């Protein structure tokens, strides 16, 4: 058996390591690469969608907080508190099994997407709150004095600056969203990168190789995101 | 016409406007002078409804500013205001700064707004800065941009709240020149200012505020030449 299968790794890297009795078989993992890359696409899809939803909801939560309405303010504060102070894993679990208890049955895909979007929205709303502190009140005043309504002033003058200031934290959250997709494990998600890897592992038991490869893919994705975000920022924000 | 009738306004226990009566006619240039805390800036922000008042009323062309039924966003289109801090929108170019409210509030087309913005910016001497971001402008240039931004809304009245107070001394002149130009063009203006020479030159009337009261109002020759109010006499001798 040994020697016939082309190998990339060695069974004994360290002297006396034979006791580990583990033969690296990278070819099996590499043969699974196409499936894993498909999973990576699902992971990216969930991360991007969850960010889009998260940003939209976070803007809404920010408006709730600024509205001066106590009920809306309380909704916003509660959302942020729960999202930031409970494990993301619980949040995803609750969407799937918690809502399931009330008869709302969502697919693993939707549960994961909504769970991560919930988490994103909470963190981003808090980032926006910080960013707003850096924008002088006089900006709104200037906009209002030109006849803009409060909403127009927010949308055209305050929000663009808020998003600019929050751009770096948003990039971090995007990376975190990619990594959070692996929590889909708790709701039996099996089409994302983690899910695919996990199922391959169950069939082949090439645990180290498969997860090492998955880790490399995760790393490449997040690295590409941070680098392209930097480039995008340079193009978008020229002032 | 701007009619201010017995306006009172307090910030907490501090009464900053103690019953102001004042009428500004179309085409008039009124400057308001006085020490800090005299209430002169507060009056301006009350005129365009940025600040509520406690009693009395302010009418702009017969519309009561602080009436519940008044559409303030609409009213503010005819009252331009420029503040001590110019508040350029940093994420927009100079041209876009001046276009924004035209498009969003007056619903002008992009082309119309752009043409008007370019016209007003040329007018205040910023014709070569259209595509620049405000961070590249000096304070005086940013303040002139803020004036163009207000003028682009085609207001009937312009309120200037100490527009040169935050500027370096060498930049004050260019902004005052812009105001002089507007005054000579017949714009109705209320200027709160510390620039006595400017007040003397451009004003039809000058009002002196002291501790929330309009202590004296007269044409500049009279107010500066023969001040009656003792506080005004003190103020003028201290500033000259």
Tell me the chain B residues in contact with residue A139 when contact means C-beta distances shorter than 8 Å: 87, 89
Q: Is the pLDDT of residue A14 over 60?
A: no
Residue % of chain B over a pLDDT of 70: 100
Contact B105 A139 (CB under 8 A): no
* Mean pLDDT score across all residues of chain A: 90
**Residue ranges of the domains in chain B?**
2-239
Contact A142 B74 (CB under 8 A): no
Q: What is the DSSP letter of A19?
A: G
pTM above 0.80, yes or no: yes
* Neighbour count for residue A34 (Cβ, 10 Å): 9
Picking from B80, B91, B146, the nearest residue to A239 by CB comes out as B91
The answer to whether B129 faces chain A, any CB pair under 8 Å, is no
Cα separations (Å) of A12 from A169, A205, A212, B224? 44, 19, 18, 99
As a whole number of angstroms, the distance between CA B26 and CA B44 comes to 16
Chain B: residue nearest A138 by CA?
B87
How far out from the chain centre does Cα B7 lie? 18
**Residue ranges of the domains in chain A?**
36-236
Which of B101, B106, B143 would best serve as a mutation to test chain A binding (most A beta carbons within 10 A)?
Answer: B101
Long-range CB contact pairs, B125-131, < 8 A, 24+: B125/B174, B125/B178, B126/B94, B129/B94, B130/B93, B130/B94, B130/B95, B131/B93, B131/B94, B131/B95
Q: pLDDT at position A151, please?
A: 94
Chain A: residue nearest B146 by CA?
A142
Q: What is the DSSP string of A168-212?
A: HHHHHHHHHHHHHGGGGGGGT--SSHHHHHHHHHHHH--HHHHHH
Q: pLDDT at position A20, please?
A: 66
As a whole number of angstroms, the distance between CA A28 and CA A7 comes to 10
Q: Is the pLDDT of residue A239 over 60?
A: yes
Q: How far is A163 from chain B (nearest CA, A)?
A: 11
Task: With cut-offs at 50, 70 and 90, classify the pLDDT of residue A227.
Answer: very high
Tell me the chain B residues in contact with residue A238 when contact means C-beta distances shorter than 8 Å: 133
The answer to whether B10 faces chain A, any CB pair under 8 Å, is no
Tell me the chain B residues in contact with residue A157 when contact means C-beta distances shorter than 8 Å: 89, 100
Extract the tokens encoding A91.
Answer: 């949040």
**Contacts for A9 with CB less than 8 Å, ≥ 6 apart:** A23, A24, A25, A26, A209
Q: Is the pLDDT of residue A3 over 50?
A: no
Tell me the chain B residues in contact with residue A136 when contact means C-beta distances shorter than 8 Å: 85, 87
Q: Is the pLDDT of residue A5 over 60?
A: no
Q: Is the pLDDT of residue B158 over 60?
A: yes
The answer to whether B47 faces chain A, any CB pair under 8 Å, is no
Task: With cut-offs at 50, 70 and 90, classify the pLDDT of residue A12.
Answer: very low
Tell me the chain B residues in contact with residue A149 when contact means C-beta distances shorter than 8 Å: 73
As a whole number of angstroms, the distance between CA A129 and CA A162 comes to 9
What would the CATH number be for the domain defined by A36-236? 1.10.3720.10
* Mean pLDDT score across all residues of chain B: 93
Picking from B77, B87, B104, the nearest residue to A142 by CB comes out as B87
Task: With cut-offs at 50, 70 and 90, classify the pLDDT of residue A1.
Answer: very low
Q: Is the pLDDT of residue A226 over 60?
A: yes
A66 and A223 in contact (C-beta within 8 Å)?
Answer: no
Q: Which of A7-16, A171-180, B103-112 has the lowest mean pLDDT?
A: A7-16
Residue % of chain B over a pLDDT of 90: 82
**Contacts for A119 with CB less than 8 Å, ≥ 6 apart:** A54, A83, A88, A91, A177, A180
User: Over the stretch A21-56, which tens digit does the pLDDT of each residue have?
Assistant: 777 888 888 888 999 999 999 999 999 999 999 999
As a whole number of angstroms, the distance between CA A118 and CA A127 comes to 14
User: Over the stretch B164-183, which tens digit does the pLDDT of each residue have?
Assistant: 988 888 888 888 999 999 99
CA contacts within 13 A on the Cβ side of A14: 6
- Torsions phi, psi for B35 (to 5 deg): -70, 170
Picking from B76, B83, B150, the nearest residue to A138 by CB comes out as B83
User: Over the stretch B54-104, which tens digit does the pLDDT of each residue have?
Assistant: 999 999 999 999 999 999 988 998 999 999 888 999 999 999 999 999 999
A158 and A140 in contact (C-beta within 8 Å)?
Answer: yes
User: Over the stretch A129-146, which tens digit does the pLDDT of each residue have?
Assistant: 999 999 999 999 999 999
Q: pLDDT at position A95, please?
A: 95
Q: Which fold has domain B2-239?
A: Rossmann fold (3.40.50)
Q: What is the DSSP string of chain B?
A: -EEEEEEEEEETTEEEEEEEEEEE-TT-EEEEEE-TTSSHHHHHHHHTTSS--SEEEEEETTEETT-TT--HHHHTTTEEEE-SS----TTS-HHHHHHHHHHHTS---HHHHHHHHHHHHHHTT-TT-TTS-GGGS-HHHHHHHHHHHHHTT--SEEEEESTTTTS-HHHHHHHHHHHHHHHHTT-EEEEE-S-HHHHHHH-SEEEEEETTEEEEEE-HHHHHHS--SHHHHHHHHHH-
Q: Could you give the maximum distance between any two Cα atoms of chain B, in Å?
A: 55
Chain A: residue nearest B77 by CA?
A147
Q: Is the pLDDT of residue A10 over 60?
A: no
Q: Considering only CB atoms, which residues of chain A are within 8 Å of chain B?
A: 136, 138-139, 141-149, 152, 156-157, 160-161, 164, 237-239
Q: Is the pLDDT of residue A2 over 50?
A: no
Cα separations (Å) of A214 from A47, A124, A162, A185, A228? 16, 27, 35, 14, 21
Contact B87 A139 (CB under 8 A): yes
Extract the tokens encoding A204.
Answer: 């082949």
Long-range CB contact pairs, B17-24, < 8 A, 24+: B17/B42, B17/B43, B17/B46, B17/B53, B17/B212, B18/B211, B18/B212, B18/B213, B19/B56, B19/B213, B20/B56, B20/B213, B20/B214, B21/B214, B22/B207, B22/B214, B22/B217, B24/B157, B24/B188, B24/B190
Q: Is the pLDDT of residue A177 over 70?
A: yes
């Amino acid at each position: 058996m040994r020697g016939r299968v082309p190998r990339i790794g060695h069974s004994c890297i360290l002297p006396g390591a034979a006791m580990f009795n583990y033969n690296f078989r990278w070819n099996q993992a590499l043969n699974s690469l196409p499936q894993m890359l498909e999973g990576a696409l699902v992971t990216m899809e969930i991360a991007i969608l969850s960010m889009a939803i998260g940003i939209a909801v976070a803007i809404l939560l920010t408006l709730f907080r600024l509205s001066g309405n106590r009920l809306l303010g309380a909704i916003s504060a509660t959302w942020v508190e729960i999202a930031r102070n409970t494990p993301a894993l619980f949040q995803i679990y609750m969407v799937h099994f918690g809502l399931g208890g009330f008869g709302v049955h969502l697919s693993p895909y939707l549960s994961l997407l909504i769970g991560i979007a919930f988490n994103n929205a909470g963190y981003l709303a808090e980032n926006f709150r910080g960013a707003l502190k850096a924008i002088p009140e006089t900006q709104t005043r200037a906009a209002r004095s030109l006849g803009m309504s409060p909403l127009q002033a927010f949308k055209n003058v305050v929000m663009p600056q808020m998003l600019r200031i929050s751009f770096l934290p948003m990039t971090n959250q995007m990376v975190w969203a990619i990594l959070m997709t692996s929590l889909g494990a708790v709701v039996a998600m099996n089409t994302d990168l983690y899910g695919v890897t996990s199922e391959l592992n169950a069939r082949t038991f090439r645990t180290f190789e498969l997860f090492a490869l998955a880790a490399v893919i995760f790393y490449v994705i997040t690295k590409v995101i941070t680098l392209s975000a930097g480039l995008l920022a340079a193009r978008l924000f020229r002032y | 016409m701007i009619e201010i009738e017995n306006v009172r306004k307090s910030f907490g226990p501090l009464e900053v406007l103690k019953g102001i009566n004042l009428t500004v006619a179309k085409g008039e240039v009124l400057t308001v002078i006085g020490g800090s805390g005299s209430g002169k800036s507060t009056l301006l922000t009350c005129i365009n409804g940025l600040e509520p008042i406690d009693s009395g009323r302010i009418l702009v062309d017969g519309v009561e500013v602080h009436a519940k039924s008044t559409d303030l966003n609409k009213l503010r289109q005819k009252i331009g205001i420029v503040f001590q801090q110019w508040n350029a929108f940093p994420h927009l170019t100079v041209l876009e700064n001046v276009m924004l409210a035209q498009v969003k509030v007056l619903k002008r087309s992009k082309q119309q707004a752009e043409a008007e913005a370019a016209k007003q910016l040329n007018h205040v001497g910023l014709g070569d800065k259209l595509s620049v971001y405000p961070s590249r402008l000096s304070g005086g240039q940013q303040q002139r941009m803020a004036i163009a931004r207000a003028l682009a809304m085609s207001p009937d009245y312009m309120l200037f709240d100490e527009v040169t107070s935050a500027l370096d001394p060498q930049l004050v002149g260019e902004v005052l020149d812009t105001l002089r130009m507007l005054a000579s063009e017949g714009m109705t203006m209320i200027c709160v200012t510390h620039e006595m020479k400017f007040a003397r030159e451009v004003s039809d009337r000058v009002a002196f505020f002291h501790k929330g009261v309009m202590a004296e109002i007269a044409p500049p020759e009279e107010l500066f030449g023969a001040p009656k109010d003792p506080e005004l006499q003190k103020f003028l001798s201290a500033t000259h």
